[in-house]
Amino acid sequence: MIEKIIELSAKNRFLIFLFALIFAGASYWAIKKTPLDAIPDLTPPQVIIEVKFPGQSPKIIEDQVTYPLTSSFLSISDIDTVRGFSTYENALIYIIFKDGTNLYDARTRVLEELSKVAPTLPKNAKVSLGPDASGVGWVYEYALVSNTKDLAQLRTYQDYTLKYALLGIDGVSEVASVGGFIPNYQVTIDNHKLIEDGLSVKDIVKTLELNNNDVGGGITIQNGYEWMIQARGYINSLQEIEELSIKTKRKIPLKIKDIARVEWTALPRRGLADLNGQGEVVGGIVIAKYGADVYATIKKVKEKLSQLQTKDIKIIPTYDRSRLIEDAVSTLKDTLIEESIIVLVVIGFFLFHFRSTLIVLVVLPLTIGLTFLLMKIFGIGSNIMSLGGIAIAIGAMVDASIVMIENAHKKLDSIKNKKALTPSKRVSLIIESSQQVGRPIFFALALVVVSFLPIFAMQGQEGKLFTPLAFTKTFAMSVGAILAITIVPALMIWFIKDVPDEKKNPVNRFFIWLYHPFIVIGLKLRYILIPLSVALLLFSYPLYKKLKWEFMPPLNEGVLMYMPVTPYGISIDQAKMLTQMTDKVIASFDEVKSVFGKAGRADTATDPAPLSMIETIITLKNEKIDMKKLLQELDEAVQVPGLVNSWTYPIRGRIDMLLSGIRTPLGIKLYGDDIKTLQSLAKKIETKLATLAQTESVFADRSDTGYYIDIDTDPKKLALYGLKRSDVLDFVSFAIGGKRVTVKLKNIERYPISIRLEEEQRNSLEAIKELRIKTKYGYIPLKEIANIHYEQSASVLKSEKAKPVTYIYITPAQGVSASEYKKVAQNALQSLTLPKGYFYEWAGSSEYLQSAMNTFKWIVPSVLLIILILIYFALGEIVPTLFVFLSLPFAFLGGLIYIDYLGFNMSVAVVVGFLALLGIAAETAIVMIIYLKESVEKYEKLDKKLLVEAIYEGAVQRVRPKLMTVFAILAGLLPIMYTDKTGSEVMQRIAAPMIGGVATSAVLSLIIIPLLYMIYIQISKKIR
């Protein structure tokens, strides 16, 4: 069939070129339209439920809202896990779905379940669905700075001008605000005046509720026109609130201003932002939609912000992922160009024929372009991994074309009488030479494709990371194979008219001269060299055992994130102090461009941070920086009592938090039923792990360090005074908590109106005890009907799958891999006895690695079997097939040697490199077998002398195509090893085993394969 395709393509050249032009145009369109991002989105589909329950403690929110919701959501199909985080006034529930679940289907299922539970929840608990964004949707952040506007004015500008302007951009899911002050109209009541005038807090609440509304009165017809009737009753100013009448006493109205002050205050804050340690700012966070073109979205955001910039408000970018995207794409683009040029130079040197080089010059960009077209069709964006797939395939994708061009050269060069070579005879020879190698080389490229099948079987984040690379490499190799049997024969007829004498090429003469003694000596010592080469394989095992394992090498994002572990229960003032202190130290480094610190939550469901969580984005200057050295210096400089340092990258950190809920590279989740017991056990684990030399830092959650003033009502005393619990609860919510009563409207702006007692009447335990509440029998102190006392309990309540959980955060010491640390730590924890119903599990890098290894255990043997079958299809003989298949361990050895030389750890990226190596190593061996077989089959009768000559001819005289394919592959990989730009960390781990393996498999193919083939022919043909 392949032979027929080659013949049809050569004879229908016009149609082939026409289709090539059409596909080239489509490819150009695809390149322009393919979405750009830095790395693939590694997060699973997630739906977030946000709960706002003003004034309520974590325990109340957990019992009344979080637990009912999490337990209900567990019944939804395709759920991976459900996590709940309950903090003061707020709860977030993360429903993590299995990979492959459509996000919008998932959101629909969650809404259906929510509609069932919502009627059973407290009426004041506001439950809403989070944005349709992924866990790494924070793509752009900025700070607002002004010399003329205060923090409240900046927050208003952010909330009602910038936010809505940016939400209108396609690709933006949400714009979150952080820092500043939200204006609040507060009616500050004096408890003593309430008593003097016989009023209760409820009377003030009712007055505000009944005096803030607009209504419509229908329409009336006058003079043939409709006149709409509306009654205005909205509050417009502080003065209007002051003039509201509560009741009339002897025809004299008692107004709010008579018993209270009406003033502007700020709502209690659960988050703040700082810039460079110089003071508070207001920040904005742009969250991209799931699946959006991140680069295009950021570009539009920046354009819109430049339009909204004013003279007195400066918008300062603090995090811009487009810079990472540009660096990553630029790195791969430069590498692609370098590789393409080197491949063309290699071909030019070996063939010494410019017109033949032009064939590859046409095929190479067309292959890359068609790969982009397939990426567009399959919805794969351009990022480090997808472009990396093309980069590592550059050399291999044109192997088939190289072999076919070289074989045509050999065929035409074999014609001694050049004058007798008519155009028709030339075309016939080119078709014949193409058909001769077309089938085996096509299957050889199919091997390269099949070797990547295990990557498609990967699950979790390793699958999401490497699947785009597997797709693009598969696309590139498939397109390369198809073009080799379609457009290459047509182009050869067009471009190859005459060819230079191979023997006159100094490059070829040099390599033949170099190769000659090795093959001659090898043929004489074949029974010694073959056992020695097999013995050499034994070196693989100790070399492999010497290497350490890690899940993935860290990807340098060019931006750092500082996430220290801080004590729970700290106040907003303490959080501000710590944030500004650490920001100032970090900003003092010359390598640092800006420092944007955030303590607590941004106003978004995608941010679960309690007030005690500090997240600092550190943008570095555009210069080459030794990241390891910088991180060490930063860690030494930022030493604050009470803080445990943790350094990561923004994308990496958010992925870790979403996948495991833990913000360090490694962690332990401890499950149980009692929070206090969990805390006690967590501290024991922390103590044990802290003694290990492999531990850089370890910190157990201190979520039990929340400080409370509990008001426990006494049912008997409530009944005695004719009160209900709701009377006391409402009094606490409004008078002490400052609960919102209604809303003041100002155009599109919305500001809460609340009531609250004077601060000195509610700012201590004793003051609260003495507060007077109205009963049927007069006013009584609150302490008469309730036990009011201090309590220490959880400030954050965490649950997973509706079961309480606490976290132990671990950062292994430098040079210690996650899997290595886990082994040591498990031995240390063997003596720990857990109560019945309590258990722990590891989370983070070691678990991701274990997941990947479990996949490899069953998929790699399956792929090796398929590779064996494809080799047989390519060669058609069992013994040569086994020769090729058994050459793969030698490639593995070469890969291990090069990895050890570079000082790399074994990782999933390295395994991917080895998988890519399997097909390439098999391909080089197949090319050798093809030419050995061709040379041997020239002789009808063989004796020992003729066999040696045939093997020599097939090996030495045909060394050119073998070296061309090897050098083309190496030329396509080596530029990756000499770049230190964004994305190089991962790509080098993939390329390294391929380079080492190709080198050793080339040596094997050039020396050992001919010896084995000679022995095989001797035995099969009984030559003595």
Considering the domain architecture, whether residues 619 and 529 belong to the same structural domain is answered as no
Is the predicted pLDDT of residue 737 greater than 80, yes or no? yes
Dihedral of the CA atoms 470, 473, 479, 480 (nearest 10)? Answer: -150
Is 810 within a domain? no
pLDDT digits (tens, 9 = 90+) for 472-511: 888 888 888 888 888 888 888 887 777 777 677 787 788 8
Is 326 within a domain? no
- Ranges 163-172, 231-240, 467-476, 817-826: which has the least confidence: 817-826
Is 27 within a domain? no
Cβ neighbours of 415 (radius 10 Å):
14
pLDDT digits (tens, 9 = 90+) for 527-538: 888 788 878 888
The rounded distance, in Å, linking the Cα atoms of 911 and 552 is 11
* pLDDT value of position 174: 92
The rounded distance, in Å, linking the Cα atoms of 207 and 242 is 11
CATH number where 608 lies:
3.30.70.1320
Q: What is the mean pLDDT of residues 292-320?
A: 91
Is 829 within a domain? no
Q: Are 796 and 705 in contact (CB under 8 A)?
A: no
* pLDDT value of position 143: 95
Q: Which single residue is written with the structure tokens 């394989």?
A: 537
Show the tokens assigned to 306: 């430049």
Helix axes 888-902, 908-936, angle to 10 degrees: 140
Considering the domain architecture, whether residues 140 and 286 belong to the same structural domain is answered as yes
Report how many domains make up the chain.
Answer: 5
Q: What is the mean pLDDT of residues 648-668?
A: 76
The rounded distance, in Å, linking the Cα atoms of 306 and 49 is 33
Would residue 291 be called left, alpha or beta, if left means φ above 0 and alpha means ψ between -120 and 50 degrees? left
Out of 46-55, 575-584, 812-821, the most confident range is 575-584
Is 5 within a domain? no
Please report, in angstroms and rounded to a whole number, the separation of the first and last CA atoms in the chain. Answer: 39
Name residue 87's amino acid.
T
Is the predicted pLDDT of residue 598 greater than 90, yes or no? yes
Q: Are 655 and 135 in contact (CB under 8 A)?
A: yes
* pLDDT value of position 617: 94
CATH number where 1017 lies:
1.20.1640.10
270 to 178, 356, 584, 735, 999: CA distances (angstroms): 9, 68, 22, 20, 59
Report the percentage of the chain scoring pLDDT > 90. 21
The rounded distance, in Å, linking the Cα atoms of 421 and 356 is 18
Residues 6+ apart with CB under 8 A from 800: 81, 82, 83, 84, 661, 669, 671
Residue that wins the pLDDT comparison between 449 and 263: 263
pLDDT digits (tens, 9 = 90+) for 919-946: 788 877 887 888 788 888 777 777 778 8
Is 893 within a domain? yes
Is 662 within a domain? no
Pairing status of strand 280-288 against strand 138-145 = antiparallel
From 133, 152, 177, give the residue that closes a domain.
Answer: 133
State the greatest distance between any 2 C-alpha atoms of the chain, in Å, as a whole number. Answer: 133
In 3D space, the residue among 48, 192, 38 whose CA is nearest the CA of residue 127 turns out to be 48
* pLDDT value of position 418: 60
Considering the domain architecture, whether residues 161 and 126 belong to the same structural domain is answered as no
CATH number where 52 lies:
3.30.70.1430
Is the predicted pLDDT of residue 550 greater than 90, yes or no? no
Q: State phi, psi for 129 to the nearest 5 degrees.
A: -85, 135
Considering the domain architecture, whether residues 525 and 446 belong to the same structural domain is answered as no
Considering the domain architecture, whether residues 143 and 169 belong to the same structural domain is answered as yes
Considering the domain architecture, whether residues 104 and 169 belong to the same structural domain is answered as no
Residues 6+ apart with CB under 8 A from 151: 179, 180, 181, 280, 281, 282
Show the tokens assigned to 392: 């590592």
Q: Which single residue is written with the structure tokens 């982009």?
A: 372
Supply the mean pLDDT for the chain. Answer: 85
Show the tokens assigned to 117: 């539970």
Q: Are 453 and 863 in contact (CB under 8 A)?
A: yes
Pairing status of strand 225-231 against strand 215-222 = antiparallel
Q: Nearest 5°: CA angle at 684, between 678 and 685?
A: 90
When pLDDT is cut at 50, 70 and 90, the band that residue 285 belongs to is: very high
Beta bridge partners of 840: 670
CATH number where 216 lies:
3.30.2090.10
The helix (H) or strand (E) run that includes residue 84 is strand 79-87
Local structure of 168: helix, strand or coil: coil
Considering the domain architecture, whether residues 302 and 169 belong to the same structural domain is answered as yes
Is 697 within a domain? no
Is the predicted pLDDT of residue 457 greater than 90, yes or no? no
* pLDDT value of position 492: 83
The rounded distance, in Å, linking the Cα atoms of 654 and 647 is 12
Per-state percent for the chain, helix, strand, coil, to nearest 5:
55, 20, 25
Is the predicted pLDDT of residue 623 greater than 70, yes or no? no
The rounded distance, in Å, linking the Cα atoms of 295 and 453 is 30
Would residue 760 be called left, alpha or beta, if left means φ above 0 and alpha means ψ between -120 and 50 degrees? alpha
- Ranges 62-71, 580-589, 844-853: which has the least confidence: 844-853
The rounded distance, in Å, linking the Cα atoms of 526 and 100 is 53
In 3D space, the residue among 728, 828, 843 whose CA is nearest the CA of residue 788 turns out to be 728
Alpha helices, DSSP H only, in 457-505? 460-484, 487-495
When pLDDT is cut at 50, 70 and 90, the band that residue 420 belongs to is: low
Considering the domain architecture, whether residues 127 and 147 belong to the same structural domain is answered as no
Considering the domain architecture, whether residues 602 and 528 belong to the same structural domain is answered as no
pTM (two decimals): 0.82
The rounded distance, in Å, linking the Cα atoms of 209 and 300 is 43
Local structure of 519: helix, strand or coil: helix
The rounded distance, in Å, linking the Cα atoms of 815 and 62 is 40
In 3D space, the residue among 393, 538, 522 whose CA is nearest the CA of residue 893 turns out to be 538
Q: What is the mean pLDDT of residues 594-616?
A: 89
pLDDT digits (tens, 9 = 90+) for 87-139: 888 899 999 898 888 889 999 999 999 999 989 998 888 999 989 888 788 99
* pLDDT value of position 272: 93
The rounded distance, in Å, linking the Cα atoms of 157 and 164 is 10
Q: Nearest 5°: CA angle at 69, between 63 and 75?
A: 135
The rounded distance, in Å, linking the Cα atoms of 559 and 327 is 12
Give per-residue burial for 922-941: e unless 16+ CB within 10 Å, then b.
bbbbbbbbbbbbbbbeeeee
Helix axes 321-351, 354-377, angle to 10 degrees: 150
* pLDDT value of position 615: 92
Local structure of 700: helix, strand or coil: strand
Residue count (the chain): 1024
Local structure of 567: helix, strand or coil: coil
* pLDDT value of position 31: 86
Considering the domain architecture, whether residues 725 and 854 belong to the same structural domain is answered as no
Is the predicted pLDDT of residue 993 greater than 70, yes or no? yes
In 3D space, the residue among 460, 411, 399 whose CA is nearest the CA of residue 436 turns out to be 411
The rounded distance, in Å, linking the Cα atoms of 86 and 70 is 11
Considering the domain architecture, whether residues 98 and 181 belong to the same structural domain is answered as no
Show the tokens assigned to 159: 């909330």
Q: DSSP of 523-591, one letter per residue?
A: HHTHHHHHHHHHHHGGGHHHHHHHS-B-S-PPP--SEEEE--B--TT--HHHHHHHHHHHHHHHHTSTT
pLDDT digits (tens, 9 = 90+) for 684-710: 898 889 888 888 888 888 766 678 888
* pLDDT value of position 302: 93
Helix axes 384-397, 959-977, angle to 10 degrees: 160
Considering the domain architecture, whether residues 1003 and 985 belong to the same structural domain is answered as yes
Residue that wins the pLDDT comparison between 566 and 240: 240
Residue that wins the pLDDT comparison between 957 and 688: 688
Q: Are 139 and 287 in contact (CB under 8 A)?
A: yes
Residues 6+ apart with CB under 8 A from 345: 971
Beta bridge partners of 982: none
When pLDDT is cut at 50, 70 and 90, the band that residue 864 belongs to is: confident
Count CA atoms closer than 13 A to 438's CA, side-chain side.
Answer: 24
Is the predicted pLDDT of residue 447 greater than 90, yes or no? no
When pLDDT is cut at 50, 70 and 90, the band that residue 1013 belongs to is: confident
The rounded distance, in Å, linking the Cα atoms of 169 and 152 is 26
* Sign of the alpha-carbon torsion through 892, 896, 898, 902: positive
From 85, 110, 133, give the residue that closes a domain.
Answer: 133
From 648, 667, 685, give the residue that closes a domain.
Answer: 648
Alpha carbon 912 to chain centroid distance?
18
Beta bridge partners of 774: 779
Question: Which structural domain, as residue segments, surrounds residue 83?
Answer: 44-133
